Structure 1
């Protein structure tokens, strides 16, 4: 079958990414090629295609822990000559809260995976986006200190997020959750900075950020007991925004292909999984000075040279 467009979902082999790919495969069997990208090898492609009775899901390995891993993925992607991307869903995330981890690029791991290397993926794939493509970033309520979900994250500079203080004092769950919330704040800072640049350049891309609630997924692989508790029905009596991945995927699919989210006035906003309603994000997320600091630091970090940095700035 010849497909006219494609959608790429990071972290698409499990959890929310898998449920979203499955839902899309069912609802758009003839027009979409769904590319699921994840670090771990998986039979997700075979399972979804077998269940749906179609062949519109493809798996490509993506190691988003390093810049080089992203570049290897993009090279493999380009060799496949896929149809244009009508949506790029930046969904994959990690959560390490017991101690500080650093990637081979010497960046704090949650910041590297949840923001930096997703941004590199966006820049390298931007030339393959359709004129009206949607870029969807999955953030978290943990970014907002006013909600008191995790210890309050405060953005000072991208450099301080990338290279936090180390030592026993910082290897606690309290600081780990703070760093996680900070990485999700960076998701919003990036999305809002991107939306401003898209509008300034007269592009028709739509940039959407979603708060997915809490799900029992591999995000909590650092603690088997925590993930188990999240999965209990009784826990939902105490935490009102615990959802199944299927429920969240239904909202995410609307954002990816629904007509309502194809309108320009949907861009540059933050939505909750519940009825896909617009909600406010944190005060810091709207500070353009912080958005620009993150944008410029990230471009300098991921660009191979000055020419590529300028290319990234031009989108």
Structure 2
């Protein structure tokens, strides 16, 4: 059965490999990639080579307004029948900064905004368009463990706080340092796991939520 999968972070790295794998394994998937500016059209053309069904929607994941516009465009395309039924969302996009002071246009700390808020906003705005069985996959990371065994001491442990604190800059000690930026990253990956647990608890039967650690 034809179905749509929406994916962020498909342009390079594990996301690109995953996108190519999805298209090889599922002849019925229409992959809709979310990418910034003109890169989306280029990515869709590259992934669609060989006859795969791939399209794109433009969004800057650092802007919640841009995410909202992209999700609205996807909803409209689904409602008009331009896309087959929505059965999946892959939130793979992520970022890390050399500090914990980088701010989005909305005034949020950029790591948390991209790695957590953008994915969550997509899911919330598309939630009523998912057709069961459907699956939501959010990319996690070993960095949330914060120990030598999992990250060889290269990343400080997460420092969990209330989300209304984490979403603002300066939530961690020495926020102007690389250690502050890495702490923000590890904490955002812990937040992603908490988010998936909440999805599993709240989403309707037939919509699965998975935290994938590559």
Shorter chain as denominator, the TM-score bin is 0.7 to 0.9
Q: Which has the higher strand share?
A: 2
- What is residue 17 of structure 1 aligned with on the other side? 15
**Cα distance between partner residues in 2 of 1:118 and 1:171:** 26
Normalising by structure 2, we get a TM-score of: 0.87
- What is residue 114 of structure 1 aligned with on the other side? 115
Residue 193 (structure 1) aligned to one of 188, 193, 198: 198
Task: Give runs of aligned pairs for residues 132-281 of structure 1, distance below 5 A.
Answer: 132-146=133-147, 147=150, 148-165=153-170, 169-198=174-203, 203-212=205-214
**Structure 1 residue 26, shift from structure 2 partner:** 2.0
**Cα distance between partner residues in 1 of 2:176 and 2:182:** 11
Normalising by structure 1, we get a TM-score of: 0.61
**Cα distance between partner residues in 2 of 1:124 and 1:99:** 28
- What is residue 46 of structure 1 aligned with on the other side? 45
Mapped contact 1:18–1:44 kept (Cα < 8 A)? no
Q: Which runs of 5+ in 2 are unaligned?
A: none
Q: Structure 1's 149 and 205: CA in aligned 2 closer, same or farther, altered over 3 A?
A: farther
**Structure 1 residue 158, shift from structure 2 partner:** 0.8
- What is residue 69 of structure 1 aligned with on the other side? 66
**Cα distance between partner residues in 1 of 2:209 and 2:201:** 10
| 1:79 pairs with 2:104 | no
**Structure 1 residue 99, shift from structure 2 partner:** 5.3
**Cα distance between partner residues in 2 of 1:193 and 1:62:** 25
**Structure 1 residue 190, shift from structure 2 partner:** 0.6
Q: Structure 1's 77 and 100: CA in aligned 2 closer, same or farther, altered over 3 A?
A: same
**Structure 1 residue 38, shift from structure 2 partner:** 1.4
Question: Comparing both chains, which one has the higher relative contact order based on Cα–Cα distances under 8 Å and sequence gaps of 6 or more?
Answer: 2
**Structure 1 residue 66, shift from structure 2 partner:** 1.5
The runs of at least 4 aligned residues of structure 1 exceeding 6 Å deviation read none
Q: Which has the higher helix share?
A: 1
Over residues 260-313 of structure 1, what are the superposed CA-to-partner deviations in whole Å (9 max), with x where a residue is unaligned?
Answer: xxxxxxxxxxxxxxxxxxxxxxxxxxxxxxxxxxxxxxxxxxxxxxxxxxxxxx
SS at match of 2:51: coil
Over residues 113-167 of structure 1, what are the superposed CA-to-partner deviations in whole Å (9 max), with x where a residue is unaligned?
Answer: 1001210110001112122211111011111124445111121211221124279
Q: Which runs of 5+ in 1 are unaligned?
A: 213-315
**Cα distance between partner residues in 1 of 2:126 and 2:24:** 25
- What is residue 128 of structure 2 aligned with on the other side? 127
| 1:97 pairs with 2:102 | no
SS at match of 1:183: helix
SS at match of 1:95: coil
- What is residue 55 of structure 2 aligned with on the other side? 58
SS at match of 1:170: coil
**Structure 1 residue 179, shift from structure 2 partner:** 0.7
